[in-house]
Amino acid sequence: MSSKGCITLLVEQGMDDLLKEIADKWGADAVRNSDGTELPDCVGDLGMEVYSTLSLTRADQDWAREHEDELTQKFLMSSPVTAFGDTVTVNIMQGWSDQQFRPDARETSRKWYEVWDRTAGKRVPEEKWNYDAENTTVTITGAEKYHVYTVSFLAYQIWDTTSMYNYVTNNWTGEHVRPMDPNQPATREHLKEFLNEWLDKNPQTDVVRFTSLAYHFTNNFDQIDGKLVNRYRDWIGYHDCTSALALEQFEKEYGYALVPEDIVRAGTMSDVNSVPTKKYRDWMDFIQRTVADIAREWVDIVHAKGRKTMMFYCDHHIGSEPYGRYFPSIGLDAIVNPCMSGVELRRIADIPVDIVKEVRLYPYFFPVNLEGKPNFPDGDPVGDCQKYWKGIRRAMVQNPADRIGFGGYLSLAVTRQDFMDYVAVLAEEFRTIKDTAKQYKKYMAPFKVGILNAWGKIRSWIDDDINDWTKPYRGGVQECLSGMNVELAFLSFDEVLEDGIPSDIDVIINMGDAYTSWSGGEYWKDEKLVGMIREFVHNGGGLIGIGDPTAYQYEGHFFQLFDVLGVDREMGPSKSTARWPFEPVKEHFLLEDGAVKEEMTHKKDGVFINTMGTDVILADEFNVLMAANTYGKGRGLYMTDLKYSDENVRLLLRALYWAAGKENELKKWYSENLNVECTAFPEAGRFIVLNNSRTEQDTVIWNAEGKTVELTLRPFESRWVDIGLFE
Amino acid sequence: MSSKGCITLLVEQGMDDLLKEIADKWGADAVRNSDGTELPDCVGDLGMEVYSTLSLTRADQDWAREHEDELTQKFLMSSPVTAFGDTVTVNIMQGWSDQQFRPDARETSRKWYEVWDRTAGKRVPEEKWNYDAENTTVTITGAEKYHVYTVSFLAYQIWDTTSMYNYVTNNWTGEHVRPMDPNQPATREHLKEFLNEWLDKNPQTDVVRFTSLAYHFTNNFDQIDGKLVNRYRDWIGYHDCTSALALEQFEKEYGYALVPEDIVRAGTMSDVNSVPTKKYRDWMDFIQRTVADIAREWVDIVHAKGRKTMMFYCDHHIGSEPYGRYFPSIGLDAIVNPCMSGVELRRIADIPVDIVKEVRLYPYFFPVNLEGKPNFPDGDPVGDCQKYWKGIRRAMVQNPADRIGFGGYLSLAVTRQDFMDYVAVLAEEFRTIKDTAKQYKKYMAPFKVGILNAWGKIRSWIDDDINDWTKPYRGGVQECLSGMNVELAFLSFDEVLEDGIPSDIDVIINMGDAYTSWSGGEYWKDEKLVGMIREFVHNGGGLIGIGDPTAYQYEGHFFQLFDVLGVDREMGPSKSTARWPFEPVKEHFLLEDGAVKEEMTHKKDGVFINTMGTDVILADEFNVLMAANTYGKGRGLYMTDLKYSDENVRLLLRALYWAAGKENELKKWYSENLNVECTAFPEAGRFIVLNNSRTEQDTVIWNAEGKTVELTLRPFESRWVDIGLFE
């Protein structure tokens, strides 16, 4: 049932002889170059599709050099400066690299400068400050002594972020690449012409692989002793799109003007982790439309020349989120992303648009791997590959991508025959999964789960791990979910407030740190929202809260749905309240697999049970770590944290069945051994069993009718089994 | 240089023969009984002062039984109840023990009932609810579905808290003791008569030992399956004083009425850990005056009969805080408290009134110790005693109490000769310390430290450990300070805002969890306060922040004095901001003793350096745990936590010298070995050296002129040494 194909090879010059052999071995049916590498001349002879990388916004550096006023822009906030007298001078570029930024000194852009007294929380009137463009300083007169001042201003980004990254990380040299803003009318026209010409110059190209579209994610640097130091990085931040032009276009369309503080928000820069304001959500919507309009022109041009388009979902993807409202209108033919986890696989595979979806697997064919350890030729590239593939494979079973690929120097990969052999196996494994999982419906848990946060669909398969500089990245709940036979939806508070909880949702998950966009912050002060969720659970729904669910200190409670969850959290001010004594229960559905044993990595202190009716599942001496509560006909369940592990996948699965009140249905297409997962495709007459561990595993598989079979799986094996085995 | 005396013996009946011998051995010069035990008849013959315990508010239970309307009262809040329809009934006693409480059902007390919609954050108008006194239920009509309601109400406490404690903990039985409110006019008059008669009936009593005065600290119980379960305990909570009468008296005096919510505050009950409102501070002041007026009458009666008065500083001490404004006016002759730490010693010894100060040491002469382990006759009472004495002894050197004592059954103590012998040694050690430390000035560090929180003096030697149900008690910064040669002041935000930072303060410490009265919460939004402290440090002062200093999420910062401290903390919403890279410094004054190695027990996650100019002293992979910063002429220093240990005492000492800019003066009356401390009394010509460890220690002691001597100390030894040794 396997097939060849569906693999893209990043090729390089100078190994023409080997290309055909490798393509045959792996079943590759397309080749591509990367930014900075050229396709070999032989590509036309290989009989494969040719993908060519193109980053339009930095493609024509001659144009960029001549149109410095059309580089991308963004708001920056100066480092805070304390007034020690009644006059204070702020060097607005203090804290920012002048290699990366240049203040927009145009007289007409002065309105995009704002001075704030952060101690008083007040905007300083224009008449009290003066900008000296030559020295990039703002001088404030009549300052309040010992108050802290900041200046927000519009800057040009004069060095492209990816180019900077390559300088900093890969020691690239040469002229700094300048990033063009394709929203500027002259540049916009020019890029279209450029694209037309480029297509003519590259006749071998079948697919234009845009890396990516209009605006890079945010990555702002300072420099210290000449060394670039990262100051702000938001993989999904809407900053590089913030030109004076866009701000004016926005005002015209929306009937109100944004001010710098709407984006800057006291230096937090409307972080994706902060609860978005209505204005910021308007701004996002505006940018998405703007980007879609620009990108559609490019796609049309490519199509007019009989070629196809692909978007690299990274780097310049801001405004082109595939879950956004306007993405379908762009008309792309394919999308590709770098992928090291089940979450990243689903982020591509679940895109609700019928385009080709490709993922770029790891390791990169580089001398060192992502952890900086030896890779090719002296490392363990097979082990490295499997480490990522473990999560991706689980997710592929749920929803496969259409294609896979690898990146880096093929000449390095060939130094390791074991790796070359393994990729052939992996490719075959991928194709067999894809063939069945694309074509047939699978057995799914008898409930649907909604993940509720401030973002909803637009941030599908994204969580608060994405940009966290304060903790180790660990993969969490979404990674567990990515490979489970569970139907998911991503819900936003606004959507729920407006349209109600979708009627097909059985269990809601709210998770994240307090006061973030993920947990929800001030949304939980909304009596309508808490009322809706109380009603939902009271009528039989389930609420799973992880971390600081429904958290907002208000009216004596931190978890606003303390009554539903059965727990609340003490943040300090009422530490005198004696908390109900608790004793973890000895028996509970959640405990039955022995899966509740994983260390809780990001434990929340001070969680206590709200009533004696709450069952404590896990606790340390002072804190409840997991608890289960009944609320009307429904259930509430709290967990302090959940990182991705085989044990926690099982624990979460049990938690979902319990929250949905469907405990009795757990053992359908179920593996007794939690290192093994299985998914059935009844119409195809087969099921797949995944050994997620690196050791041999025995397990018992239950089918939907309660029959069992025993299986033994080789380390890391995936096996397709005929459903007839149960007869 | 020692003396006999200064020891109080808790005696019992039936061991008359031994009493004189024990008194001689220990040097005891006073005897006392406890609540529940009687003095033996022989006390008159011992030639010692006789202390007799008297708790007036529960002394006459016949009167209490006949005046049920004059029992103490307090506000309670019902457990929250969710409305599932538009009518909801709340049993206001749900969550509270009816053995402890009875709602005040008087028609005139109905105004002290309040119904709150906690979901909307709104008081429910009277016309929408009805109280059924018989069933103790409130029925709300026109309720909002899925909103949570609470009822606040005034209740009588019908069972005295200490009596309850003895039932619950010591299995006492018998009639429940009723607590009288001495503020009720009839009771007030009656208690005076009772006291007069009691004095006549107890002619052997030299000192009336009140246990304590008017109002017990808060300790509220529920009962579950008949078992009493603690719900709220605030050792310093102003609740048991809250009668309808007192509330009316308050209104008359202050010109405004309190409402239940002013105390209840959504069920947090104006916890001592929450930032106090102006109204609550008014209420405290009013209660302090009320208690002083009542107690003064009692003291006058005792004095009129030629006897003396002593207050047990525990149990019924609310309103009689010895650091309060009105305490001196009571006219007490002595005060005593239970004491297991240096903090508790200083809490007594530092009382700014010239009265006799006694501490009751541990262990209690009970079969089990405070940890529930065997004590007499089978445990390690000497080791137990030394465990507490270690901290107390350090503090005694700084400021000694006048007397010590023990409690429990003397008949148990005599079962252990080693303990009887050790107490004789300890008593002698105490007396030699007291004799010098009371009489002579000691060498002090060349700076003065102010501890800044919302309470100031009134909560001297009290910190956020006092009522914390969420963490292990560990003793912290104040315990370290209690034995250091450092002058201290307790400052409140209000006082500083009104009068400025006292001119003799060199270093300010602000510490505690965020949003508590200790750290300060919303005070840190006050631009005047942050301005004053910036100015103080900029001009040369020191700021030491521990835990969540100056914390209040506002204008992009969590630590509002981020610039002074050199660090800030990420609470979640701006996790995308890349934080400055940090590398702990290899050399620093703070590190010189090797004392920076203690585990930080209550670590704060997400602390980062605010500028590259901050020196990181200690860190884990993601978080700064300790940092030092220069700010103008002054310094800021951050620590995530500091529990009491020999290492941390030294670390804090270094921190103080560094923050004060006096590093060069550290090595004056200084022990190189950090398990040893020394304090010099130059005018007495001697210094004391304490070995705080249980092992022999070698050390080098520096005098103020830089001369050194080597000493070897026995385990746990304290030794007086002649200053002439340095000649």
Tell if the CB–CB gap between B468 and A575 is shorter than 8 Å: yes
Which residue of chain A is at minimal alpha-carbon distance from B570? A470
Query: What six digits make up the tokens of B489?
Result: 């002041």
First-residue to last-residue Cα distance in chain A: 22
Min Cα distance B320 → chain A (Å) is 20
3-state SS, residue A344? helix
Which residue of chain A is at minimal alpha-carbon distance from B580? A231
pLDDT at A597: 66
Tell if the CB–CB gap between B269 and A574 is shorter than 8 Å: yes
User: Which residue from B266, B517, B570 is facing A556, i.e. has the nearest CB?
Assistant: B266
- The ipTM value here is 0.94
Mean pLDDT, chain B, whole residue set: 93
Tell me the average pLDDT across B406-415: 91
**Which residues of chain B does A274 touch, with a Cβ-Cβ cutoff of 8 Å?**
573-574
Q: How far, CA to CA in Å, does A160 sit from each of A58, A72, A167, A198, A208? A: 8, 9, 11, 21, 21
Non-local CB neighbours of A587 within 8 Å, separated by 6+ positions:
none
Min Cα distance B469 → chain A (Å) is 6
User: Which residue from B82, B563, B608 is facing A80, i.e. has the nearest CB?
Assistant: B563
User: Which residue from B145, B268, B621 is facing A574, i.e. has the nearest CB?
Assistant: B268
pLDDT at B195: 98
Q: Which residues of A367-391 are buried (b: 16+ CB within 10 A; e: fewer)?
A: eebeeeeebbeebbbbebbbbbbbb
> Which of A565, A555, A621 shows the shortest CA–CA distance to B469?
A621
Tell if the CB–CB gap between A576 and B146 is shorter than 8 Å: no
**Which residues of chain B does A82 touch, with a Cβ-Cβ cutoff of 8 Å?**
534, 563
Length of chain A: 727
> Taking a C-beta distance cutoff of 8 angstroms, is the pair A508, A533 a contact?
yes
Tell if the CB–CB gap between B576 and A146 is shorter than 8 Å: no
Best residue in A576, A621, A630, A631 to probe B by mutation, most B CBs within 10 Å?
A: A576
DSSP state at residue B485: S
pTM for the full predicted model: 0.95
Does the pLDDT of residue B598 top 60, yes or no?
no
Report pLDDT digits (tens) over B331-341: 999 999 999 99
Tell me the average pLDDT across B215-223: 93
Query: What six digits make up the tokens of B631?
Result: 């700010």
Residue with tokens 């993601």: B622
Non-local CB neighbours of A705 within 8 Å, separated by 6+ positions:
A726
Min Cα distance B73 → chain A (Å) is 19
pLDDT at A600: 61
Tell if the CB–CB gap between A531 and B147 is shorter than 8 Å: yes
> Which of A216, A423, A424, A443 shows the shortest CA–CA distance to A317?
A216
ω into B363 cis (within 30 of 0): yes
pLDDT at A598: 54
Distance of alpha carbon A291 from alpha carbon A300, whole angstroms: 14
User: Which residue from B230, B267, B538 is facing A84, i.e. has the nearest CB?
Assistant: B538
Non-local CB neighbours of B384 within 8 Å, separated by 6+ positions:
B362, B363, B369, B375
Question: Quick one: B354 exposed, middle or buried, by C-beta within 10 A (0-12, 13-18, 19+)?
Answer: exposed
> Taking a C-beta distance cutoff of 8 angstroms, is the pair A453, A335 a contact?
no
Residue B40 binned pLDDT confidence (cut-offs 50, 70, 90): confident
Min Cα distance A28 → chain B (Å) is 38
**Which residues of chain B does A79 touch, with a Cβ-Cβ cutoff of 8 Å?**
611
Which residue of chain B is at minimal alpha-carbon distance from A274? B573
Tell if the CB–CB gap between A527 and B119 is shorter than 8 Å: yes
Non-local CB neighbours of A712 within 8 Å, separated by 6+ positions:
A696, A697, A698, A699
> Taking a C-beta distance cutoff of 8 angstroms, is the pair A75, A260 a contact?
yes
Tell if the CB–CB gap between A572 and B234 is shorter than 8 Å: no
Alpha helices per DSSP H over A171-210: 185-201
Distance of alpha carbon B711 from alpha carbon A503, whole angstroms: 80
Best residue in A217, A470, A560, A570 to probe B by mutation, most B CBs within 10 Å?
A: A470
Distance of alpha carbon A569 from alpha carbon A604, whole angstroms: 8
> Taking a C-beta distance cutoff of 8 angstroms, is the pair A81, A148 a contact?
yes
Which residue of chain A is at minimal alpha-carbon distance from B575? A468
Residue B18 binned pLDDT confidence (cut-offs 50, 70, 90): confident
Alpha helices per DSSP H over A49-172: 61-66, 161-170
**Which residues of chain A does B532 touch, with a Cβ-Cβ cutoff of 8 Å?**
146
Does the pLDDT of residue B253 top 60, yes or no?
yes
User: Which residue from A84, A232, A606 is facing B576, i.e. has the nearest CB?
Assistant: A232
A vs B: CB pairs below 8 A:
231
Angle formed at CA B316 by CA B313 and CA B319, multiple of 5 degrees: 85
Min Cα distance B684 → chain A (Å) is 45
Tell me the average pLDDT across B483-507: 98
Distance of alpha carbon A159 from alpha carbon A154, whole angstroms: 15
Length of chain B: 727
**Which residues of chain B does A573 touch, with a Cβ-Cβ cutoff of 8 Å?**
268, 271, 273-275, 515-517, 521
Q: How far, CA to CA in Å, does B684 sit from each of A266, B723, B724? A: 59, 9, 11
> Taking a C-beta distance cutoff of 8 angstroms, is the pair B625, B603 a contact?
yes
> Taking a C-beta distance cutoff of 8 angstroms, is the pair B216, B240 a contact?
yes
Question: Quick one: B202 exposed, middle or buried, by C-beta within 10 A (0-12, 13-18, 19+)?
Answer: middle
Distance of alpha carbon B610 from alpha carbon B631, whole angstroms: 12
Which residue of chain A is at minimal alpha-carbon distance from B81? A563
DSSP state at residue B95: T
> Taking a C-beta distance cutoff of 8 angstroms, is the pair B567, B616 a contact?
no
Tell if the CB–CB gap between B575 and A516 is shorter than 8 Å: yes
Query: What six digits make up the tokens of A238?
Result: 């809407």
Q: How far, CA to CA in Å, does A308 sit from each of A214, A305, A317? A: 18, 9, 18
**Which residues of chain A does B517 touch, with a Cβ-Cβ cutoff of 8 Å?**
573
**How many CA atoms are closer than 13 Å to the CA of A521, on its beta-carbon side?**
18
Best residue in A88, A123, A146 to probe B by mutation, most B CBs within 10 Å?
A: A146
User: Which residue from A146, A563, A572 is facing B516, i.e. has the nearest CB?
Assistant: A572
Quickly count: other Cβ atoms within 10 Å of residue B165's Cβ.
17
Min Cα distance B83 → chain A (Å) is 10
Best residue in B577, B580, B583, B601 to probe A by mutation, most A CBs within 10 Å?
A: B577
User: Which residue from A469, A517, A573 is facing B579, i.e. has the nearest CB?
Assistant: A469
Distance of alpha carbon A273 from alpha carbon A288, whole angstroms: 19
Tell if the CB–CB gap between A578 and B531 is shorter than 8 Å: no
Distance of alpha carbon B195 from alpha carbon A518, whole angstroms: 64
Distance of alpha carbon B398 from alpha carbon B653, whole angstroms: 15
3-state SS, residue B698? strand
Distance of alpha carbon B250 from alpha carbon B284, whole angstroms: 10
Give me the active site residues of B, please. Answer: 315
User: Which residue from A116, A120, A272 is facing B576, i.e. has the nearest CB?
Assistant: A272
Does the pLDDT of residue B474 top 70, yes or no?
no
Does the pLDDT of residue B602 top 80, yes or no?
no
Tell if the CB–CB gap between B576 and A237 is shorter than 8 Å: yes
Tell if the CB–CB gap between A553 and B580 is shorter than 8 Å: no
The amino acid sitting at B32 is R
Min Cα distance B545 → chain A (Å) is 17
Please tell me chain A's helix, strand, coil percentages from 3-state DSSP, rounded to the nearest 5. 30, 25, 40
pLDDT at B255: 97
**Which residues of chain B does A572 touch, with a Cβ-Cβ cutoff of 8 Å?**
273, 464, 512-516, 519
Of A60, A285, A315, A465, the active-site residue reads A315
DSSP state letters, B566-631? SEEE--STTTTBPPPP----S--GGGTTS-TTS--TTPPTTEEESSTTSEEEEE-SS-EEEEEEEE
**Beta bridge mates, B542:** B507, B635
**Which residues of chain A does B621 touch, with a Cβ-Cβ cutoff of 8 Å?**
472
**Which residues of chain A does B265 touch, with a Cβ-Cβ cutoff of 8 Å?**
556
pLDDT at A10: 86
**Which residues of chain A does B234 touch, with a Cβ-Cβ cutoff of 8 Å?**
576
The amino acid sitting at A266 is A
**Which residues of chain A does B237 touch, with a Cβ-Cβ cutoff of 8 Å?**
576
**Beta bridge mates, A243:** none
Tell if the CB–CB gap between A233 and B513 is shorter than 8 Å: no
3-state secondary structure B187-249: HHHHHHHHHHHHHHHCCCCCEEEECCCCECCEEEEEEECCEEEEEEEECCCCCCECCHHHHHH
| pLDDT < 50 stretches in chain A | 1-2
Does the pLDDT of residue B597 top 80, yes or no?
no
Min Cα distance A543 → chain B (Å) is 15
Tell if the CB–CB gap between A146 and B575 is shorter than 8 Å: no
> Which of A591, A299, A470, A423 shows the shortest CA–CA distance to B620?
A470
Please tell me chain B's helix, strand, coil percentages from 3-state DSSP, rounded to the nearest 5. 30, 25, 40
Q: How far is CA A197 from the centre of its chain?
A: 34
Instruction: State the pairing for strand pair B551-554/B557-559.
Output: antiparallel
**Which residues of chain A does B80 touch, with a Cβ-Cβ cutoff of 8 Å?**
562-563
pLDDT at B605: 87
